[in-house]
Amino acid sequence: MPIKKYLYLLTATVAGALAGFLLQALLELWYIPKLIANFDIYGLNLSWSTWFKIHELLVISFTVGGALIVGQQAKQWWNYLYVEHCGTGILKSLRQLFVLK
């Protein structure tokens, strides 16, 4: 695998993991104050230890899910941009513009 493709897929996957983690953090920032303020209503009859387990599960699920989804999308976009349309359209124009002669 060329180094350019490897770095593209690696950075996209890491960005996906970070995006998933951020999405999960925003979800918790929205819900935890409600949970603390009125545990009887927002606690859903679950204990605090169960909520900590839910937190751990969400962190892992969102982080891994974000990495997998964005990593898969990066593979598809790599094929679209660099394999199928390598010498056509705007990519060809950009390459010609930035090629050192």
How many C-beta neighbours within 10 Å does residue 6 have?
10
| Ranges of each domain in the chain | 3-98
SS3 assignment, position 55: helix
The one-digit pLDDT tens for each residue of the chain (101 residues) are 689 899 999 999 999 999 999 999 999 999 999 999 999 999 999 999 999 999 999 999 999 999 999 999 999 988 888 777 665 666 666 666 676 54
Nearest to 42 by CA among 28, 22, 53, 56: 28
Measured between alpha carbons, how far is 77 from 79 in angstroms, rounded to an integer? 5
